[in-house]
Structure 1
Amino acid sequence: MTEALGRTQILRDAMDPVRAAALHAALGLDGPPPGHLAILPPFFHQVYFWDPRPPADLGRDGHPRLGAFLPDLGLPRRMWAGGELAFFGPLRAGSPAERTTAIEGITRKQGRTGPLAFVTLRHDIVQAGVLRVSERQDIVYREDPRAGAPRPAPPPAPETAEDATEARFPPTLLFRYSALTFNGHRIHYDRDYATGTEGYGGLVVHGPLLAQLLMLKATAKGPLRRFSFRARSALIDHETATLCRAGDRLWVRGPDGRLCMSAEVEHGQERY
């Protein structure tokens, strides 16, 4: 496990504006999509820096097989648990960029439903020789669900918000987001796998997709300097969510009032 600490990977991308335009369309955003050398909205870099692998190099869940770059910790299920982004300058469509990823931390703990392991990645994105975005990504690993095992109750979401909008996540959106981010995780498009193997109530809405929508909501109050988020409970494709903001706090509320994601933002004029 410790031999993976400090392991690095470098990926380069031409930052084709067509991908940003496709994400703009998939999210149903207003206005023209980003063109050549236009500033990308925050977190649009998720559609870049693909790391395609042949089928033989994939695990059962559709992700690249563990034990290559990411360590194999003996726990089969993995999810994006949260992260934090620092924005030092805008990324521009059509300008080549480089992302360096390093494994910064590996920890184990005992959760309410069994053993957990956390891997922390750091992504630094450089464009035109300048660091533009530094991102921490927290990945959680856990056991397969046990039949009949009780599930802990998710935390309740705050009841009051200054700004609240409903959002729906049909399977078409989940498929398109998976394709644009080259995310092969089967819980987002393979209903039989999501419900039968991993025990969810349907297709799971991507955590980064929820974070993306919260970031877009946050930009309405000004450019972003820093944004952090944490997944709290899975949102399922048939559920209508509410995207909420109160000051510098944002969250996603499920239809039953549960908290699906929490986030905090720091604004800064000299950055995004």
Structure 2
Amino acid sequence: MHEAVGRTQTLRDAMDPVRAAALHAALALDGPPPGERSVLLPFFHQVYFWEARPPAELGRDGHPAVGGFIPDLGLPRRMWAGGHLTFYGTLRAGIPAEKTTTVEAVTRKQGRTGPLAFVTLRHDIVQAGVLRVSERQDLVYREDPRPDAPRPAPPIAPADAEDEIAAVFSPTLLFRYSALTFNGHRIHYDRDYAMDVEGYGGLVVHGPLLAQLLMLRATARGPLRQFGFRAYSALLDHETATICRSGNRLWIRGPDGRLCMSADVEHGEDRF
């Protein structure tokens, strides 16, 4: 077992409704924006619990440098590979909350394109003394791309969607989402870095932004109890995506038919 497993840290936030209202506007959602004590939509907690670090404590990619809470595994590229959320209750804007993060697992493996390292974090969010959300976050770290290395073909998205909605992602949206979530990862706003250093074909759409859109789509059919998602291939800012649903399965399809993200949902009842 890696020595980092079991580490914890706790962040507190006043849950300012202005942040939720700003995300509501950035996503062009219908209806009035959240206000004081408004129920927050699922995954809106991403705009809270900032971990603000000075520039000297950041890595080359703009994230907080590894080697502290998250161990340095010798692999420079970080991606949010997926996650799972359990909703025990709703969060409300304007009521202070705290998030306790625990390192649950650290593993290594050999992938098709080189060594990989996986870090699993668990985030427990408590508000008014009650556990409201428990989230597992799966991070993957990998080597810089080699120009001569073959790129594995991504899986093809399912073809049995019951309904579909097109989605576009402008650089402005990516910047605003990065700012609201205090995500300094340069692949989302620094085109030269994304292409020249990390080998992408443009700016990368945030994995949690795609998960947010899938959750909003799922919420239209009722309150969420469980939501799990997995990323398969990067979606770029110049690509039009399709949000697909079939029953309790949802996915993001790229313009070439590839699978970018999949999700499964379990609906429940509002408890708070």
Give the TM-score normalised by structure 2. Answer: 0.99
Runs of 4+ with deviation above 4 angstroms: none
Check the 8 A contact 1:87/1:271 in 2, yes or no.
no
- 1:221 aligns with 221
- 1:256 aligns with 256
- 1:235 aligns with 235
- 2:188 aligns with 188
Tell me, what secondary structure is at the counterpart of 1:218?
A: helix
Letter in 1 for 2:241: A
Cα-to-partner distance string for 1:82-135 (whole Å, 9 max, x where unaligned)? 000000000000000000000000011111111100000000000000000000
Tell me, what secondary structure is at the counterpart of 2:209?
A: helix
Q: Distance in 2 between matches of 1:68 and 1:232?
A: 28
- 1:205 aligns with 205
Check the 8 A contact 2:87/2:226 in 1, yes or no.
yes
Letter in 1 for 2:156: P
- 1:125 aligns with 125
Structure 2 counterparts to residues 1-272 of structure 1, below 5 A:
2-271=2-271
Unaligned runs of 5+ in 2: none
Check the 8 A contact 2:90/2:270 in 1, yes or no.
no
Cα-to-partner distance string for 1:126-150 (whole Å, 9 max, x where unaligned)? 0000000000000000000001211
User: How much does 1:159 deviate?
Assistant: 1.3
User: How much does 1:160 deviate?
Assistant: 2.2
Q: Distance in 2 between matches of 1:203 and 1:162?
A: 30
Unaligned runs of 5+ in 1: none
Cα-to-partner distance string for 1:147-169 (whole Å, 9 max, x where unaligned)? 12110000000112112100000
Q: Distance in 1 between matches of 2:169 and 2:110?
A: 32
Tell me, what secondary structure is at the counterpart of 1:2?
A: coil
Check the 8 A contact 1:124/1:133 in 2, yes or no.
yes
Tell me, what secondary structure is at the counterpart of 1:3?
A: coil
Tell me, what secondary structure is at the counterpart of 1:4?
A: coil
Letter in 2 for 1:109: K
Tell me, what secondary structure is at the counterpart of 2:11?
A: strand
Check the 8 A contact 1:117/1:141 in 2, yes or no.
yes
* Cα separation, partners in 2 of 1:270 and 1:106, compared to 1, 3 Å: same
Check the 8 A contact 2:248/2:266 in 1, yes or no.
yes
Letter in 1 for 2:208: P
User: How much does 1:271 deviate?
Assistant: 4.2
Q: Distance in 2 between matches of 1:158 and 1:231?
A: 14
Aligned sequence identity (%):
80
Q: Distance in 1 between matches of 2:139 and 2:212?
A: 17
Letter in 2 for 1:160: D
Q: Distance in 1 between matches of 2:119 and 2:2?
A: 11
